[in-house]
Amino acid sequence: MTTVEADKLRGAYVDPDKGKKLLKIYVAEWQKGQVQHAPSTVSTVDSDLRNHVLPPFGDKAIGRIRRTAVQAWVTERSAVLAPTTLHRVYGLLATILKAAVVDEIIVRTPCVEINLPPITKTRVVPLPTLAVEAIIEAAPARWRSAFILGAGTGQREGEILGLTLDRVEFLARQGRVDRQAQTPNKGKPYIRPLKTEASERTIPYPDVVLNALSEHVRLFPPDLVELDVYTERAAGAKPKRVAVRLLYPGHDGTLIRRWRFIDNVWKPAVKRAEAALRERAAKERSAGRKDSADKIDAAADRLRGKVDFHELRHYYASLLISQGANVKVVQARLGHKNATETLDTYGHLWPDSDESTRVAVDTVLGAALGKIG
């Protein structure tokens, strides 16, 4: 009783009966109080709760959830979820339980000193030009310029799928990248701003991209179609119905869903590209040109297994770096939030500068000391 009275005086008292509330009941209340986000974010949260958080903890009293149970859950989930996904799902549970502390449902959160699997980044190895060339050649005519756009500007998949004619400035030889397609599993696809202002950028279009886009517009003139467009990034923003001219619509004339693009356009093109490279290598080998055949086979090997559209973005970055672009230029073209992100991803691609640093020191310091000697 003395401890309870002391806690009340300090404002630290929490009624233990509140901790008997089931987590699923509190989650429902918590969700109602959240600031509205983009439908895709809401969908991800709902999916994570339904598939990962509520099955083990939903029917438990919040006050009965222990750190050991959370750690055991993380360990079990690590066998089926990728580290990045597990970090996101655990973060959701931790956020909910922290909110329960603020709401004075529990005294402290059990999400402390939880061991999570490390997130290790695989070093980017860009596709060779032979492989990129083969993919572009294998692309359907309606999508070929989209592949060239990915390899020639580094634009993300969603940025290209949501590209409209007014964002291509032919006379200025550049393109504005300020929004992207969003195709949730449920509900209608829509266009929304990029996640951060840093991602918004203007990309200079090289001739190979401009020519491809010009030919695309000539062969496949984009029709006007009405779409839901979010013009504001702020939480709770409402979409507007806007008439746009999509450069790469789906079969129904509106935004193509991401999974449909991957399964019906991208993956088949990659498979055809690999087959074409194998056939080409066989011809080179039969003609006695072993070195050439080995090089082509190596490019074909890179197209085995999982090859994402994002590989074209990596290829673009590698082209800029190989041609002497500095980190700030690459950051700006890719829309990274800072140079650290660029260096963390592509730092190993910049050429070794051992010799240039030797020359720099010898030229200045060596010359100065030579005068002293």
pLDDT digits (tens, 9 = 90+) for 91-100: 999 999 999 9
Same-domain status, 90 and 178: no
The residue among 86, 102, 118 that closes a domain is: 102
The CATH number of residue 286's host domain is: 1.10.443.10
Tally the domains of the chain: 2
Same-domain status, 136 and 220: yes
Residue 178 burial by Cβ neighbours in a 10 Å radius (0-12, 13-18, 19+):
middle
For residue 9, name the pLDDT band (cuts at 50, 70, 90). very low
Nearest to residue 75, comparing CAs of 119, 115, 118, 120? 115
Same-domain status, 85 and 163: no
Q: What is the pTM of this model?
A: 0.78
- Degrees to nearest 5, angle at CA 304 with 300 and 308: 110
Same-domain status, 241 and 173: yes
- CB contact set of 88 (below 8 Å; sequence gap of 6+): 48
Count other Cβ atoms within 10 Å, centred on residue 131.
Answer: 24
Residue 15 token pair: 């009624």
CA atoms within a 13 Å half-sphere pointing along the CA-CB vector of 246: 27
Q: What is the DSSP string of 140-179?
A: -HHHHHHHHHHHHH---HHHHHT-BGGGEETTTTEEEE-E
Q: What is the mean pLDDT of the chain?
A: 88
354 assigned to some structural domain: no
123 assigned to some structural domain: no
Q: What is the pLDDT of residues 266-294, one digit of tens each?
A: 999 999 999 999 999 999 999 999 999 99
For residue 356, name the pLDDT band (cuts at 50, 70, 90). low
Same-domain status, 19 and 139: no
Q: What is the pLDDT of residues 194-232, one digit of tens each?
A: 988 889 999 999 999 999 999 999 999 999 999 999 888
* Whole-angstrom distance, CA of residue 115 vs CA of residue 71: 7
Give kind and range of the element (H or E) at residue 201. strand 201-204
Strand pairing category for 190-193 and 179-182: antiparallel
164 assigned to some structural domain: yes
* Whole-angstrom distance, CA of residue 373 vs CA of residue 353: 29
Give 80's DSSP letter. Answer: T
* Whole-angstrom distance, CA of residue 94 vs CA of residue 92: 5
107 assigned to some structural domain: no
* Whole-angstrom distance, CA of residue 159 vs CA of residue 232: 16
Domain assignment of residue 202, given as a range: 129-348
Same-domain status, 290 and 164: yes
Residue 318 token pair: 């590698």
Same-domain status, 94 and 135: no
179 assigned to some structural domain: yes
119 assigned to some structural domain: no
Predicted confidence (pLDDT) at residue 132 exceeds the cutoff of 90 = yes
Same-domain status, 289 and 147: yes
Instruction: Yes or no: say if 53 and 99 are a contact pair by the CB < 8 Å rule.
Output: no
At residue 371, the pLDDT reads 67
CA atoms within a 13 Å half-sphere pointing along the CA-CB vector of 236: 3
360-364 mean pLDDT: 71
314-319 mean pLDDT: 93
- CB contact set of 108 (below 8 Å; sequence gap of 6+): 101
Same-domain status, 83 and 173: no
Strand pairing category for 240-245 and 201-204: unpaired
357 assigned to some structural domain: no
Same-domain status, 250 and 288: yes
Same-domain status, 74 and 8: yes
Same-domain status, 187 and 229: yes
275 assigned to some structural domain: yes
Predicted confidence (pLDDT) at residue 36 exceeds the cutoff of 60 = no
For residue 184, name the pLDDT band (cuts at 50, 70, 90). confident
CA 34 vs. chain centroid, Å, equals 24
* Whole-angstrom distance, CA of residue 309 vs CA of residue 311: 5
